[in-house]
Amino acid sequence: MASPSKDTRSLKICIIGAGMGGLTCALALAKDGFENIHVYETASNLGTVPGRWMAGWMRWHGMAGSMLIGERAIEGATDTELANVDLGYIEETYHYPHMVGHRHSLANGLYNGCLAQKAITFHFRTGVQRVLSFAPNPSFTAVPRPRDGGSGEPAPDPYTVTCDILLAADGIKSVARVDMLKALNHTASVIDSQQAAYRIMLTREQMECDADLLALIDAEAVTRWIGERRHIIAYPVSNKRIYNLSTTQPDVNFAAAPSETYTTQGSKSAMLEVFGDFCPLVLKMLNMVPEGEVCEWKLRIHEPLQTWIAGSVALVGDACHPTLPHMAQGAAQAIEDGAVLGAVLAQLVDASPESINKTLRVYEKIRKERAEMLVELAAASARNLHLGEGKAKEERDRMFKELREKGGKAPVPDKWADADVQKIVYGVDCVKIARENFTDMYNSI
């Protein structure tokens, strides 16, 4: 891989969003020698949603995690095991153990890595109102928020930022995506999955007084309880101090909400009613959620975009390929985007807008088809898990039975735990592809 020239190293690169994709972009670029990186983030701090990933990312900055060596599929109503998938082979095959960790731990690791780089400047409490231009020099309107604490001080006035490269990692409600679609005269409708999710975290202290619950948080496994049109997936995080549960169920509360609405205060009684026919073990955990602390997420994606690139602007992560959570790939794919952007921009042949655009298109060429395939796999996994009575469910349960009888050596209805799908997820090194094939890809554009 060629080192960037002095001219390219001094390019001003702005990143919208300090989520997984934005932080990875910033860190990868700084490590490849870029000197002028600015990250704009609306929030005043980073979020705390658990997630799953392989240990390689967690070891990058010494992040703590818990080993995950199995997945159990359970009939939700009866607590009967449908299948048990051994994930121990992942370390031997891909050279890292399969682990779980708190998303906050991963975000903090990436953020602390960024703080160690003098080239990166953070602009917290600063949102982006709109992207004003895409080429030759992108520009956008930055909007500071008032400081927290109710001081009464007015927010600073909005201001215009101009840069050489703009990487928009501003999430599923991306302002940059909307403005890019308008500029290109493209459309991409929001797709309503008709699903919603509760996300719940129980502490070890809450669970340790019950032997059955203690066994769950101490297990080195993910458990998925499956019911008609619903499931719950759960696993320990934070060195088994927290048990994370994420549900998926038919959307009721968001049905009439505007498309901008993604979260709402949930009702504990409604949550218990949704899963009322699940087994006592599940209901015991749901009952532990304090009243008033139930939060429900609307699950939406959007149609695949014709392109992620306009001029010297590229979309990143959920801004261009939001996914349902059923493959646990949202954060992972955003990280791949950021890492690939670092790898291709490190090989910029010069600082011209034309070279920048072609280089960003190499990023798109490496990432777009792969990310969109994984989005579809996540949707397919949901369809497979949420079957009601009928022939399709009978076939799925037959596959679970075959998997159980063959000791885990058969296709897995849950795509996330299927060895062939895991080969697609874990067996492809996008950064290696970017470093080794950049010149050929660049010349083909």
Closest CA to 383 of 324, 297, 305: 324
Per-residue pLDDT, 151: 63
* Angle (CA) 206 209 213, round 5°: 75
Supply the pLDDT for residue 150: 60
Please give the residue that has the higher pLDDT: either 20 or 257.
Answer: 20
pLDDT band at 12 (very low <50, low <70, confident <90, very high): very high
Structure tokens at 374: 């994984």
**Could you read off the pLDDT of 281-313 as tens digits, one per residue?**
999 999 999 988 888 888 888 899 999 999 999
Lowest model confidence (mean pLDDT) among 59-68, 83-92, 136-145, 318-327? 59-68
Could you tell me the two tokens for 227? 């019911």
Residue 382 has pLDDT above 50, yes or no: yes
Q: How far apart are the first and last CA of the chain?
A: 19
Residue 394 identity (one-letter amino acid) = E
Q: Per-residue pLDDT for 61 more than 60?
A: no
Q: For residues 93 and 292, what is the distance between their CA atoms, to the nearest angstrom?
A: 44
Is 265 within 8 Å of 294 (Cβ atoms)? yes
More confident residue, 97 or 323: 323
- Spell out the SS3 assignment of the chain: CCCCCHHHHCCEEEEECCCHHHHHHHHHHHHCCCCEEEEEECCCCCCCCCEEEEHHHHHHCCCCCEECCEEEEEECCCCEEEEEEECCHHHHHHCCCEEEECHHHHHHHHHHHHHCCCCEEEEECEEEEEEEECCCCCEEEEEECCCCCCCCCCCCCCEEEECCEEEECCCCCCHHHHHHHHHHCCCCCEEEEEEEEEEEEEEHHHHCCCHHHHHHHHCCCEEEEEECCEEEEEEEECCCCEEEEEEEEECCCCCCCCCCCCEEECCHHHHHHHCCCCCHHHHHHHHCCCCCCCEEEEEEEECCCCCCEECCEEECHHHCCCCCHHHCCHHHHHHHHHHHHHHHHCCCCCCCHHHHHHHHHHHHHHHHHHHHHHHHHHHHHHHHHCCCCCHHHHHHHHHHHHHHHCCCCCCCCCHHHCHHHHHHHHCCCHHHHHHHHHHHHHHHC
**Per-residue pLDDT for 55 more than 50?**
no
Higher pLDDT, 67 or 311: 311
Q: The domain 6-50+102-188+303-380+428-444 belongs to what CATH superfamily?
A: FAD/NAD(P)-binding domain (3.50.50.60)
Segment 45-63 shows an average pLDDT of 44
pLDDT number for residue 60: 39
Please give the pLDDT value at position 50.
Answer: 45
User: How far lies 189's CA from each of 177, 259, 303, 305, 315, in Å?
Assistant: 12, 10, 6, 9, 16
pLDDT at 146 over 70: yes
| Cα 414 to Cα 73: distance, rounded to the nearest angstrom | 8
Supply the pLDDT for residue 14. 98
Cβ-in-10-Å burial (0-12, 13-18, 19+) of 198 comes to buried
Architecture (CATH level 2) of domain 191-301: 2-Layer Sandwich (3.30)
pTM for this one?
0.88
- Using alpha carbons only, give the angle 298, 393, 303 rounded to the nearest 5 degrees: 35
CA distance 154 to 151: 9
Quick: pLDDT tens for 179-191.
999 999 999 988 8
Q: Partners of 295 in the beta sheet?
A: 265
Sheet holding 80-86, edge to edge: 80-86, 70-75, 222-227, 230-237, 242-250, 190-203, 295-302, 263-265
| 3-class SS string, 256-299 | CCCCCCCEEECCHHHHHHHCCCCCHHHHHHHHCCCCCCCEEEEE
Task: Tell me the average pLDDT of the chain.
Answer: 86
User: Dmax over Cα atoms in the chain, in whole Å?
Assistant: 66
pLDDT band of residue 148 (cuts 50, 70, 90) is low
pLDDT-based confidence at residue 46 (cuts at 50, 70, 90): low
Decide if pLDDT at 417 tops 80: no
Q: Which residues pair with 246 in a beta bridge?
A: 199, 233
Model pLDDT, residue 211: 97
- Of residues 145 and 97, more confidently modeled: 145
Which tokens belong to 376?
């579809």
Domain ranges of the chain: 6-50+102-188+303-380+428-444, 191-301
Q: Which band of pLDDT confidence, cut at 50, 70 and 90, is reported for residue 51? A: very low
